[in-house]
């Protein structure tokens, strides 16, 4: 029996606003090296990799003298592109995943479909203006951009919680756990769609 080929991708994005390099391995151990210049974004992407068992090496040099938007968006776009490339034809995968993740008083739910049709539906209910240098609107924008570039259907809801840090982190952990299920190998499943293509 031959071993399955590694599911890995490397993506580089260079614009007048950012330079992002990303290497992603789907069948990893959760090892992460993330450096974006935004501490809270590093924290969320590291949690995504760790709990999704993804090996992630992501570095960004962005125009943080402007604000955090371009860096947050471009990191998510590059990570989504790497996920899409690593999945290839999306053959012999489970396709669907769902998970709940608590963090103290906060509880988040995430549901993923690697359908090839991007649709983000994200409601985190964050109330603060920013978390550690990352605007709360950009916390949501990261998940939206990941779904669009990764060509996946992603629903994330925070069901309860008082602390915005806990709400955001629970959301990323739930997303990680759902992605981990969805990308898991399912030998012999072929393309998991009645269409025959994802």
CB 101 within 8 A of CB 166: no
What domains can you pick out in the chain, each with its CATH number? 8-183 (3.30.230.40)
Kindly report the pTM of this predicted structure: 0.95
Size (the chain), residues? 198
User: What's the pLDDT tens digit per position in 88-142?
Assistant: 999 999 999 999 999 999 999 999 999 999 999 999 999 999 999 999 999 999 9
Three-class HEC string of the chain = CCCCCCCEEEEEEECCCEEEEEEEECCCCCCEEEECCCHHHHHHHHHHHHHHCCEEEEEEEECCCCCCHHHHHHHHHHHHHHHHHHHCCCCCECCEEEEEEEECCEEEEEEEECCCCCEEEEECCCCCCEECCEEHHHHHHHHHHHHHHHCCEEEEEEEECCCHHHHHHHHHHHHHHHHHHHHCECCCCCCCCCCCCC
Task: Return the residue matching tokens 């998970």.
Answer: 99
User: What's the pLDDT tens digit per position in 135-185?
Assistant: 999 999 999 999 999 999 999 999 999 999 999 999 999 999 999 999 999
Determine what percent of the chain is predicted with pLDDT higher than 90.
91
């Amino acid at each position: 029996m031959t071993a399955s080929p590694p599911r890995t991708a490397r993506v580089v994005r260079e614009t007048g606003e950012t330079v992002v390099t990303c290497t992603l391995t789907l069948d990893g151990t959760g090892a992460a090296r993330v450096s974006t210049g935004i501490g809270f974004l590093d924290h969320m992407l590291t949690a995504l990799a760790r709990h999704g068992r993804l090996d992630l090496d992501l570095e960004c040099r962005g125009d943080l003298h402007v604000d955090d938007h371009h860096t947050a968006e471009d990191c998510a776009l590059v990570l989504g592109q790497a996920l899409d490339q690593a999945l290839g034809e999306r053959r012999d995968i489970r396709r669907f995943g769902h998970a709940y993740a608590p963090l103290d008083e906060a509880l988040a739910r995430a549901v993923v479909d690697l359908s090839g049709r991007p649709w983000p539906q994200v409601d985190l209910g964050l109330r603060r203006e920013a978390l550690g240098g990352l605007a709360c609107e950009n916390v949501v924008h990261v998940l939206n951009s990941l779904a669009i570039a990764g060509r996946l259907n992603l629903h994330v809801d925070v069901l309860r919680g008082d602390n915005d840090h806990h709400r955001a982190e629970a959301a990323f952990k739930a997303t990680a756990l759902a992605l981990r299920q969805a990308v898991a190998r399912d030998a012999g499943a072929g393309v998991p769609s009645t269409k025959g293509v994802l």
